[in-house]
Structure 1
Amino acid sequence: MLETTNERAGMPAVSATQGRPSGTAGTQRRRAGRPSAAVLDKAGITAAALELINRKGYDGLTMAALARELDVAPSALYNHVASKQDVLLLVEDHLMSLVDVSGFGSAAWEAAVRTWAWSYRDVFAVHTPLIPVIAVLPVTDAPQTLAMYETVSKGFADAGFPQEHIIPAIVALESFIFGSAYDVTAPEDIFESGSMAESTPYFTAAVRSSASRRDAPAGQERGRPADTAFHRGLEALITGFGAIRK
């Protein structure tokens, strides 16, 4: 373009099919023919596209496959969206509408950024196949996405950030957030050095020390490695960007 972490941000867990309207795959098949507007709408198209991507990856999302997922003729689908790009804009808008920006305007800038960033990471941790697409998808004509950026930009401006620094700061935070969303789904032994442990003593010792923090006593930092890494990186970014405020 932001389990345990959702609870940290005070939000419910994000479901890939949360609020999914009727008329998508998995419901009783309808008779052949053009569906009514009440059955086929943009919300249903969005939910079906997300379901398709979750099962088959981004490459599995084609207009023909989406029409089959919705159990409609392709011509019926084209009455609502003109192209795959339009579908992706709907998906982008839906996901961005799930990101919590409520802290901006009601809390200190640091707290607002934490809520936004944790929420943003958790939304995309559920939809990692879409990260390479959404990260470079233009936001033109995506109202929910633009509303999210407007709220965040105003929050930065109100906190005293020079205007020219706002977008670079948001982009830097997003880059960290998207990478961290992938980290949530990585295996916990991703850094195990195996038979190369003796030849990589510093790295191996650091990995083992980091793993031991998950069993730290109460009052000390603890949690999944992905959460610990995200917490520390986000705090460093907040501190760094905070230094350029007026």
Structure 2
Amino acid sequence: MPAVPAAQQRPADGGIRRRRAGRPSSAVLDKAGITAAALELVSRKGYDGLTMAALAKELDVAPSALYNHVTSKQDVLLLVEDHLMSLVDVSGFGTGTWEEAVRRWAWSYRDVFAEHTPLIPVIAVLPVTDAPQTLAMYETVSKGFLDAGFPPEQIIPAIVALESFIFGSAYDVTAPADIFDSGTMAESTPHFTAAVRDAAAGAGRGRPADTAFSLGLDALVSGLGVLRRANPME
């Protein structure tokens, strides 16, 4: 009598035990799926809720299956960072003036990370090694600076200076409206209190964070522009 295949062996209750159709969940895991699940988890529970156990549950796989693709939460955060960097607008480089391109890039960069401020302390010190979207962004920006006449040795310091301002400004977007309210010490800080009042009046209906970002970005673009050599392409 021929042997019954293991996938169809008859259990004690007389039924036929069949292997579940399709491939195991772990086999279809990939970086794009892990990134999407991580972002979904973050949207519901915040970055504190992003753990390897929670991510495995979100993906409906065993933690061991997840560890076949990423070795730690740090790896997951790198995937998330790389995805977010792909959303930053670098289209101005190579199509308009350097000043216009930097402004478009900086505003987009700030707006993307204003939605993900808990990630900033992590990515600020996270190596970009093997992060294709992040490296593609830096490649486009670096070439834009070089084409605009920047000394090569000044390009990375200039980008880092802009990023430092961008990350801080991303936090400012989510700051409480009364962050500079001096409260009961208004009389003892008259100059500061008056400056806060005048800034609010000058901002009109615009967001104070946008006003501050525009002012600071203009100053940085103007200051960094001094480093440029004459560029016949603009």
Comparing 160-169 and 49-58, the one that deviates more: 49-58
How far residue 223 of structure 1 moved from its aligned partner, in angstroms, is 1.2
Contact 1:54/1:129 (8 A) holds in 2? no
2:24 to 31, 34, 52: 34
The TM-score normalised by the length of structure 2 is 0.84
SS of structure 2 residue aligned to 1:82 = coil
2:132 to 125, 143, 164: 143
Comparing 141-150 and 46-55, the one that deviates more: 46-55
Contact 2:26/2:61 (8 A) holds in 1? no
Aligned residues: 208
SS of structure 1 residue aligned to 2:88 = coil
Comparing 52-61 and 152-161, the one that deviates more: 52-61
In the other structure, the counterpart of 1:23 is none
Q: Cα deviations across residues 162-204 of structure 1 (Å, max 9, x unaligned)?
A: 0110000000000000000000001111101111110000000
Partners of 2:72 and 2:174 lie apart in 1 by 31
In the other structure, the counterpart of 1:244 is 227
Q: Percent identity?
A: 82
In the other structure, the counterpart of 2:156 is 167
In the other structure, the counterpart of 1:191 is 180
1:1-246 equivalences in 2 (<5 Å): 34-35=24-25, 37-38=27-28, 40-215=29-204, 223-246=206-229
Contact 1:169/1:241 (8 A) holds in 2? yes
How far residue 76 of structure 1 moved from its aligned partner, in angstroms, is 2.0
Q: CA RMSD in A?
A: 1.8
Bigger radius of gyration among the two: 2
How far residue 82 of structure 1 moved from its aligned partner, in angstroms, is 2.8
In the other structure, the counterpart of 2:15 is none
Partners of 1:125 and 1:214 lie apart in 2 by 20
Contact 1:153/1:166 (8 A) holds in 2? yes
Structure with bigger RCO (C-alpha 8 Å, 6+ apart): 1
Give runs of ≥4 in structure 1 deviating > 6 Å: none
SS of structure 1 residue aligned to 2:92 = coil
SS of structure 1 residue aligned to 2:224 = helix
Q: Cα deviations across residues 100-130 of structure 1 (Å, max 9, x unaligned)?
A: 0000011100000000000000000001110
In the other structure, the counterpart of 2:8 is none
- Residue 25 of structure 2 aligns with an amino acid whose one-letter code is P
The TM-score normalised by the length of structure 1 is 0.80
Contact 2:111/2:170 (8 A) holds in 1? yes
Partners of 2:195 and 2:121 lie apart in 1 by 30
Partners of 2:109 and 2:189 lie apart in 1 by 35
- Residue 63 of structure 1 aligns with an amino acid whose one-letter code is M
Contact 1:34/1:76 (8 A) holds in 2? no
SS of structure 1 residue aligned to 2:90 = coil
**What 5-or-longer segments of structure 1 have no aligned partner?**
1-30, 216-221
Partners of 1:151 and 1:132 lie apart in 2 by 24
Partners of 2:177 and 2:72 lie apart in 1 by 39
